Amino acid sequence: MPSSYGAFRRRTDKEKSIRYAYSTEFINNSVSSTEVTLVREEVVLNVALTHSFKEGVDEIVLFSHVDEAIVVNNIIIGDYIEHDGRTLLVFEQYYHPTYINYNKFRLIECNIEIGYNNTKLKGSFIGSGSKAKDMNNDVINNIMLQSSQQTPIIIAALDITLTTNDRIMFTGEAWRIVNIDKHTNPGIMYLSIEEDEVNESDDISNSIAIDPVSADDSLLVGEVRTGQTIELATFNGYFTTNYKVEIIERQRTLVKFIIPYGVDILTINTKDSGDNTIITNYQVVS
């Protein structure tokens, strides 16, 4: 004889399935339904995208199925999404008790590609710091940018190798980083920049700034150097590695440490603001 608990369990599971299908139907069957490519995983996802134009910035909100975004392909802050010939940067995730059947992310369109020491990285150039601050409540989630009101701002995915005073190029012009915020929004960096002169060592045709001192000894993407001091954003101070490292500073949203010697591959685990673990592997060079 079937137990009453078993019948109750089957009934509740069916009700959950119905509620899930109903609450996420708009993702697959609405005017906003579309397909996008998650660049990091090179996979196509079924999502819903909504657009708005605020303060001169095209802002996009992405809705995705929980099983696709979290369990399988793990969309996180700092990911790049391609859609309809455009590259979009995921820079915020909404958290709310009602968002149990789908995920909601805020995206911003990348309108430039910065180049520095053999690296190309897409980002969003949003003009002066005053303009960025004017958009805080609607576009940048109340982020306090440490820059003057006339300093242009670039939003891009985090690159731990970039530091203050580094040079970058985009659209054939050279710029210098006067301030870099890697901690306010883990996975994202905010670059305050000022105009700089083009050097003879720069790759002008490809718009890549190359420091003349390190032109023959620059780090490639994903490389770090032994003895190098690195700052990484994290959440709740979470930080583990596959080799012991010397930690210089550890706070709730950042960890500063020194790359050890005698290591080929350094695996670093951090967390984003959604408590998702981010695993990053770096090639260590001497």
Note down pLDDT in tens along the chain; length 286 residues. 456 655 555 555 544 554 444 455 777 777 778 888 988 888 888 888 887 655 555 578 888 877 644 444 568 889 999 998 999 999 888 876 655 677 888 999 999 999 987 788 999 998 654 444 344 434 443 333 444 445 788 999 988 778 888 899 998 899 999 998 888 888 899 999 999 988 888 888 888 888 765 434 444 446 788 888 888 888 888 888 888 888 888 888 888 888 888 888 888 888 877 778 888 888 888 7
199 secondary structure, DSSP code:
P
What Å distances lie between residue 150 and 136, 188, 215, CA to CA?
A: 16, 21, 31
Domain 4-109 matches domain 223-285 at the CATH topology level: no
8 Å CB contact between 194 and 178: yes
Tokens of 126: 């949003």
Instruction: State how beta strands 86-93 and 277-285 pair.
Output: unpaired
φ, ψ for residue 146 (rounded to 5)?
-90, 80
Which pLDDT does position 57 carry in this prediction? 53
CATH number corresponding to 4-109: 2.40.10
Q: Please count the other Cβ atoms lying within 10 Å of the Cβ belonging to residue 251.
A: 10
- Residue 250 identity: R
In the three-class reduction of DSSP (H, G, I as helix; E, B as strand; rest coil), residue 42 is classed as coil
3-state secondary structure of 226: coil
* The pLDDT of residue 82: 93
Separation of alpha carbons 227 and 262, rounded Å? 11
The domain spans of the chain are 4-109, 120-196, 223-285
Q: Are 176 and 193 in contact (CB under 8 A)?
A: yes
Q: What is the pLDDT of residue 139?
A: 41
Side chain identity at 48, as an amino acid letter? A
Question: How far apart (Å, rounded) are the C-alpha atoms in residues 210 and 168?
Answer: 8
Q: What is the pTM of this model?
A: 0.62
Within a 13 Å sphere around the CA of 278, how many CA atoms are in the beta-carbon half? 22
CATH class of the domain defined by 223-285: mainly beta
- Tokens 């709740």 sit on residue: 236
Residue 197 is given by DSSP the state P
Identify the helix (H) or strand (E) that includes residue 246. strand 246-250
Non-local CB neighbours of 24 within 8 Å, separated by 6+ positions:
65, 101, 102
Q: How far apart are the C-alpha atoms of 226 and 263, rounded to whole Å?
A: 8
